Every structure is written in C-alpha cells, then in structure tokens.
Structure 1
Amino acid sequence: MKHLAFLFVIVALAGPASAEDVVSIPTPSAGTALAQKGDRANSGTEAERRKARLDLMFGRLAKATNKRRADRIARHIMRRMTQSGSDTVDLLMVRAAKAMQAKDLPMALDLLDGVVRLQPDYAEGWNRRATVYFLVGDYGRSMADIEQVLKREPRHWGALAGMAMILAALDRKDEAVVVMDHALEIHPHLEKMKEQRDRYAKENGGSDI
C-alpha cells in the first residue's frame, strides 16, 4: 500500500508546469475527433477552454501506448489542475506544500482550510487537504475531502488512489479493487497500482487484470 501512498502524496505536491511537460493540442486540420476537441480548446470562455484542454489530455492519457508518454501527459494534467487562478490561493498552496514537506501537518491543515474556504470549487485544494488528513490518520475527514475532489474532477487518479488506500486500510479491499480499476481506466500506466490491484484481487479470490 506504500506505493499508493506515494502516488497520493506526489500528486498532491505537484508543482507548476515546465515547458517540457506541455503536450501540444492537435489542430482542426487533422480532421479527427481529437482535432475537434483541440478546436474547442481554443475557443469559448477561459473556463470552457480549460475544460476542453483537460478533456483532450485525459483522452490522450487513456490511450497512451507507453508509460513514458503517459507520465508526460499525466504531469501536464496535474500541473493544469493545480492552477487555481487566484494568487492568494496559489500562495497558500505553496506554503501548505512547504509545511507538508517539513512535516508541519497542523500548519498545512490551517493553510488548506483557508484554501477550501476561499475557493471551494478548486478540486486540488480539497485533494491536498485530503492528503494531510490521511497523513495524520484521520481517514474519515480524508475520505470526505476525496469525495469533494471527485465531485469536481471525477478523473483525479491521485484522489482515487487515496480512496483505495483508505478502503484497503479499513479491510475493504474488494471495494479498493473497484476504485483502482477505475483509476487505471483513466491512467492505464500506473504500474505500482496494477501490482497492488492484482494482489488485492487475489486475496479476495478475484482475477488479474
């Protein structure tokens, strides 16, 4: 389960995008469904464009043929999802990440309480707080925050990893397998999660992927 914990925390601590992580958007001239999505990604309101770009990237992630490309797309998605659009919220998130890295979890919780109050529609604020609650062993509050994440972004595989970890810790491994199956549909190259999923399935008398 430590591999899932690593994924949960790493996703929560994702930093700003770098130029090498950016995946290009197909142009309408390609004449494909992806090109049409790319067209929508460059029109409409900023929120609509952001959603269209994420939809496009999630589509590419699900179809990635190798782990290297999948990881590159996944990094790009996570960087986008950490962008709050608010300088104040971004600052609180940076300070919370530093507090987490320094193992000052009470301070991190205080900062993240501020994030979810200021911007309740920001999924990554809830995800970061869910991670801290998990780290302090408060599975109930962590699960509640994960549910808030998934209401806003049901494809958040890091939040799904956290949910699977909590379910497994509560000896509900059959439910954890279902959650991990869903996460692997979104990001099919989470190799450690595949291994964990197979172990849980065998323990419960199920079949491999």
Structure 2
Amino acid sequence: MIVLRTCLAALLSLILTIDVQAQSAGSGTVLDTLFAKLQAATDPSAIRSLEAAIWEQWVMVPDMSQRAMMMRGIAEMQQQEFKTSIDTFTRLIDVAPDLPEAWNKRATVHWLMGNFTASLADICETVKREPRHFGAYSGLGMIRAEMGENARAIAAFELARKWNPHIAGIDGEINRLRALDGDGSGGADPLGCGRPST
C-alpha cells in the first residue's frame, strides 16, 4: 500500500504541475494513439512522457473560458485553497458537464479534504465520461481499500492497470487485497458506480 500511495502521490504531483498547451485537433485520436503507445512502451522515460502527454490531453479544454476555469481550479488546488477550488470546478462542471477532467479534478480536491463520499461520486462521473482514466481508477481503488471494500478496490486497480500497465506497486496491491478478500467479487456493480465495469 505504501508503494502505491507513493505512486499515487507522484500522479497527483503530475496532475498539479502539468503545462497545458493549445488544444490539438482530434484529441480523441491523439489519446487513442497515446494509449496504444503506452501499452507497448518499455523504456521508463518513454512511459513517463506518454503518461504526461495523456494527462495533458485530459486537462486541455478547447473553450478558452472553460480552460481558464480549469487552470484557475488547478492553481487553487496547488495553493491548498480547496473550498475555492471546489467552487471553481463546480462552475466548470455546470457549464461543461461532459468534461471528464473537471469531475476528476474536483474528485481530487474532495479526496485531499478527506471527503471520500464526494470524491467517489465524482470519480464515478469521471470514468463514465473517460473509461480509460487510470488516474481516476487508481484513486477509486485507494479509497475503496481505505473503506475496507477490497473487492471494489481490486476491480478499480485492475482497470487502472488495464489502461496503464506501468503503475508502480499496483500488482502488489492487487495481490495484497486478494489475499485479504479471498475470492470475493464486486458483483454486478464491481466499482460501486452504479454500472458494470468496462
């Protein structure tokens, strides 16, 4: 769990320090290509670059006013102005409810504040909109594990690993939780998000 927490802390650091550039045309195609390359990558520096590029694509917002809100919310999160950051991401969600990263960023702030219930709800909205979001699945797994929901934690970590097989410590955490949970499963709703996992 400690190794995975270290990895998740590194992911959070990457989220907070990403340099957002202009929106590329056809970001869906860009993401498809990045994910395909990430699956095949073996060089650690290439893996880090691909992960960063995927996060950058998630953070990019084509609409300039929405992009400004995204950047403001991230800056507020960096400055630990959590309540203000939640308000900013909520406004962004209100105007762009289909933007996965707005939900994920608000989930991250809720997690930083220790509000697991609100974080879980926002993570579920994130993965509904971006089913490949390994960062959201990692956070979901960590929260479910903290809550003692081992089967759901395993399901979330397995999806994180499916989309990014390079997350340090995740195999060990899945094995640890399986040893605790036996053959338990999450049933028809393995993530606890009100729908089957993908």
* Equivalent residue letter for 1:137: G
Aligned residues: 178
- 1:15 and 2:2 are equivalent in the alignment: no
* Aligned counterpart in structure 1 of residue 120 of structure 2, from 143, 147, 167: 143
- 1:163 and 2:140 are equivalent in the alignment: yes
- Matched residues in 2 for 1:84 and 1:17: separation? 9
- Matched residues in 1 for 2:39 and 2:81: separation? 36
- Percent identity, aligned pairs only, is 26
Following superposition of structure 1 onto structure 2, how do residues 4-153 of structure 1 map, counting pairs within 5 Å?
5-7=8-10, 9-10=12-13, 12-13=15-16, 15-16=18-19, 46=25, 49-153=26-130
Corresponding residue number in structure 2 for 1:192: 169
Q: Higher RCO, 1 or 2 (CA under 8 Å, sep at least 6)?
A: 1
CA contact (8 A) 1:12 1:124 kept: no
1:36-66 Cα shifts (integer Å, max 9, x gaps): xxxxx9xxxx4xx221221111111112123
Instruction: Indicate the larger mover: 100-109 or 123-132.
Output: 100-109
- Matched residues in 2 for 1:139 and 1:8: separation? 18
SS of the aligned residue for 2:42 comes to coil
1:9 Cα deviation after fit: 2.5
SS of the aligned residue for 1:80 comes to helix
* Equivalent residue letter for 1:152: R
- Matched residues in 1 for 2:135 and 2:14: separation? 6
1:180 Cα deviation after fit: 0.9
The gaps in structure 1 that reach 5 residues or longer are 19-40
Following superposition of structure 1 onto structure 2, how do residues 197-208 of structure 1 map, counting pairs within 5 Å?
197-205=174-182
CA contact (8 A) 2:123 2:136 kept: yes
- Matched residues in 1 for 2:47 and 2:20: separation? 16
SS of the aligned residue for 1:191 comes to coil
SS of the aligned residue for 2:161 comes to helix
Larger radius of gyration: 1
The gaps in structure 2 that reach 5 residues or longer are 184-198
* Equivalent residue letter for 1:15: I
Structure 1-normalised TM-score? 0.76
